[in-house]
Amino acid sequence: MTIERILVVDDDPLSREFLGEAARSLGYTVETLGSPLRALERIAKTDFDLVLTDLRMPELDGIELVRRVNELEPGLPLVLVTAHGSVKSAVDAMQAGARDMLMKPVTPEGLGIVIERIAATNRLVNENEYLRSQQSEAHPQIVARSPRILQTLRSAARIAHSRGTVLISGESGTGKERIAQFIHENSPRKDGPFIRVNCAALSEQLLESELFGHEKGSFTGAHRRHEGRFELADGGTLLLDEIGEISPAVQAKLLRVLEENEFERVGGDRTISVDVRVVAATNRKLADEVADGRFREDLYYRLHVLPIHVDPLRERPEDILPLADHFARHFALQSGVTPPELSEDARRALEDWNWPGNVRELENVIQRAVVLARGDQLRSEDLSFGAALPVSARGPIGIVGDDDDDDEHSNVHSIYDPAVLANRKLADIERDAILATLDETGGNKTEAARRLGVTARTLSNKMKLWRQLGLVA
Ligand SMILES: Nc1ncnc2c1ncn2[C@@H]1O[C@H](COP(=O)(O)OP(=O)(O)OP(=O)(O)O)[C@@H](O)[C@H]1O
């Protein structure tokens, strides 16, 4: 969306005209209004590309105007203009959905920079352009059709440029990790590493050493020095998935890194400084965890600087069919077959299901259907709804439990805290266990297989499949 028509809202006539003139001098078509309520009426009727609004106005303040416009016209960018800049009002404005802030007196140059930034974000989120830029495996495609997910991507693109910690909330399988990756790829850190840690997968001790590393001999089994994920993510982004699961001790250590960018390895006394942007994700209501005393309030506020919510799939039904087509193409190409067409009844059935397991469940359903489908059509009989449920007990590829040699998993599970198992997807647990063990053995598959109590062939097969599915590097 290019920017042509701008609405200026300011109750002070002088500053309104000043701002209007600055925008006109840059070649935009400008309308100016002194009343925010009148502005809401005009916005409902006219196609503006951008709104510049004053912060303090008697009828309705700028932040409230931003909120109402976001409801009325999601996607219409707003910039708050204020003479009273404070960190708090900037955070409030961003949380309300403003795209940017400008300090008075506004110069045409300053205004031009902000408008160009917004235009660049618009271009990025433009669906076609985005899809084209996301073709390779390293940049997995995000399918986005519904206004709600497009709005989420816009917020993500906007906050990608800041340094603040991001908290992504949303039900399991909605695509939080994808959004985190999107933020990284669109941030100035995009050439740095993107590292993910699943906090629910590891016991307290393992998680602490996974995040911060450990020195040789710091606990039984620590045979060599181990660099933590914070060190690996230096210069890049660290995704802390399922942050709601971390213990009080790890919460305290994490708070310190977020505040001071430094920590010590487990069993070490050297202070290590890092430059890492933290993105946390949770499918719990963290505010409730704080209220119940399970999550530190100070850490919550540190993480909550830039919140993003990913809606469940049932609340953005426009995404169902585009996602289904995308997965059908993806899995067919992976197995070297022609991508099947989705029949009319299959499309209807997909739209009728309420997707409690969200995008991950849809991905599972289509993956199975592509295997089962005969001919070049995918019909409703090929779709097995509910087979992927309970979602909390199944991973994206459903390996655990489908296997004939079930006893092999007993050793895998024993390295995890049983308290978190109920909440974890088994396939994710299995994958994390294998990766952690391979890491411990320096990549030695035979030794890792021995420790996990499986054959080296089983381990190799699983790794091969995950690699094909893009689940491991
Ligand atoms: N918009 C999308 N376009 C394409 N694929 C998607 C999209 N959203 C999610 N996916 C795919 O759906 C699966 C689940 O997504 P993801 O792992 O990001 O969800 P999540 O919310 O992080 O889940 P959890 O809370 O269980 O960790 C992944 O395989 C991901 O690639």
Q: Each residue's pLDDT tens digit in the chain (473 positions)?
A: 578 899 999 999 999 999 999 999 999 999 999 999 999 999 888 778 899 999 989 989 999 999 999 888 877 899 999 887 666 777 788 888 888 888 888 899 999 999 988 887 776 665 444 444 444 344 467 899 999 999 999 899 989 988 889 999 999 999 999 999 999 999 999 998 999 999 988 888 889 988 998 887 777 666 667 788 998 899 999 999 999 999 999 999 999 999 998 998 888 888 999 999 999 999 999 999 999 999 999 999 999 889 999 999 999 999 999 999 999 998 888 877 888 999 999 999 999 999 999 999 999 999 988 887 777 889 988 888 865 443 333 333 222 223 333 333 322 222 233 433 443 455 666 777 888 888 888 888 888 888 887 777 778 877 877 776 666 76
Å from CA of 178 to ligand 1 middle: 6
Mutation to probe ligand 1, out of 148, 177, 432 (largest number of atoms < 8 A from CB): 177
Å from CA of 361 to ligand 1 middle: 9
What ipTM is given for this predicted complex?
A: 0.98
Position 357 scores a pLDDT of 92
Atom of ligand 1 nearest to the CA of 359: 12
Please check whether residue 131 lies inside any domain of the structure.
no
Please check whether residue 182 lies inside any domain of the structure.
yes
User: Which residue CA neighbors atom 10 of ligand 1 most closely?
Assistant: 175
Position 457 scores a pLDDT of 75
Secondary structure string (H, E, C) spanning 259-318: HHCEEECECCCCEEECCCEEEEEECCCHHHHHHCCCCCHHHHHHHCCEEEECCCHHHCHH
**Domain stop point among 344, 375, 391:** 391
Å from CA of 365 to ligand 1 middle: 14
Å from CA of 128 to ligand 1 middle: 20
Nearby residues of 88 by Cβ (< 8 Å), 6 or more positions away: none
Å from CA of 14 to ligand 1 middle: 50
Residue that has been written with the tokens 């919510």 in this structure: 309
DSSP assignment, residue 340?
P
Please, what's the b/e burial string for 35-63 (b: 16 or more CB within 10 A of its CB; e: otherwise)?
bbeebbeebeeeebbbbbbbbebeebbbb
At what angle are helices 87-96 and 62-72 packed, to 10 degrees? 10
Å from CA of 425 to ligand 1 middle: 13
Å from CA of 403 to ligand 1 middle: 24
Q: Hey, how many other C-beta atoms are within 10 angstroms of the C-beta on 230? A: 25
Atom of ligand 1 nearest to the CA of 471: 29
What is the extent of the structural domain holding 371?
Answer: 323-391
Bridge-based pairing state of the strands 194-198 and 166-169? unpaired
CATH number at residue 399: 1.10.10.60
> 201 and 96, same structural domain?
no
Bridge-based pairing state of the strands 271-273 and 262-264? antiparallel
> 303 and 200, same structural domain?
yes
Exposed (0-12), middle (13-18) or buried (19+): which is 471, by Cβ within 10 Å?
Answer: middle
Position 100 scores a pLDDT of 87
Atom of ligand 1 nearest to the CA of 172: 25
CATH number at residue 178: 3.40.50.300
**CB 7 within 8 Å of CB 43:** yes
> 21 and 111, same structural domain?
yes
> Would you say how long the chain is, in residues?
473
Which amino acid is residue 385, in one-letter code?
A: F
Sheet (strand 194-198) strand order: 194-198, 237-241, 277-282, 166-169, 306-309
Å from CA of 105 to ligand 1 middle: 44
**Domain stop point among 358, 391, 424:** 391
CATH number at residue 363: 1.10.8.60
**239: helix, coil or strand?**
strand
Å from CA of 363 to ligand 1 middle: 9
**Domain stop point among 363, 391, 419:** 391
Mutation to probe ligand 1, out of 174, 181, 243, 359 (largest number of atoms < 8 A from CB): 359
User: Which residue CA neighbors atom 4 of ligand 1 most closely?
Assistant: 142
Mutation to probe ligand 1, out of 176, 199, 360, 471 (largest number of atoms < 8 A from CB): 360
Å from CA of 312 to ligand 1 middle: 11
Mutation to probe ligand 1, out of 178, 194, 282 (largest number of atoms < 8 A from CB): 178
Domains of the chain: total: 4
Please check whether residue 146 lies inside any domain of the structure.
no
d(CA 81, CA 190): 30
User: Which residue CA neighbors atom 25 of ligand 1 most closely?
Assistant: 172
Residue that has been written with the tokens 């997909």 in this structure: 350
> 407 and 383, same structural domain?
no
d(CA 6, CA 47): 9
Please check whether residue 85 lies inside any domain of the structure.
yes
Cα-Cα-Cα-Cα dihedral of 161, 164, 165, 171, to 10°?
-50
Which amino acid is residue 126, in one-letter code?
A: N
> 349 and 386, same structural domain?
yes
> 282 and 175, same structural domain?
yes
d(CA 225, CA 221): 11
Please, what's the b/e burial string for 271-308 (b: 16 or more CB within 10 A of its CB; e: otherwise)?
ebebebbbbbbbbeebeebbeeebbbeebbebbbbbbb
> 198 and 269, same structural domain?
yes
> 270 and 239, same structural domain?
yes
CA distances from 162 to 165, 276, 452 (A): 9, 13, 42
> 183 and 71, same structural domain?
no
d(CA 198, CA 209): 13
Please check whether residue 148 lies inside any domain of the structure.
no
Å from CA of 133 to ligand 1 middle: 18
Please check whether residue 135 lies inside any domain of the structure.
no
Site residues for ligand 1, CB cut-off 6 Å: 140-144, 170, 172-178, 241, 281, 283, 323, 359-360, 363, 396
Distance from the Cα of residue 384 to its chain's centroid: 28
Give which of 438, 446, 204 is closest to 430, Cα–Cα. 438
Please check whether residue 427 lies inside any domain of the structure.
yes
Please check whether residue 473 lies inside any domain of the structure.
no
For residue 300, what are its two tokens? 């919550």
Position 64 scores a pLDDT of 93
> 445 and 401, same structural domain?
yes
DSSP assignment, residue 226?
B
pTM of the model: 0.59
> 283 and 215, same structural domain?
yes
> 231 and 335, same structural domain?
no
User: Which residue CA neighbors atom 13 of ligand 1 most closely?
Assistant: 360
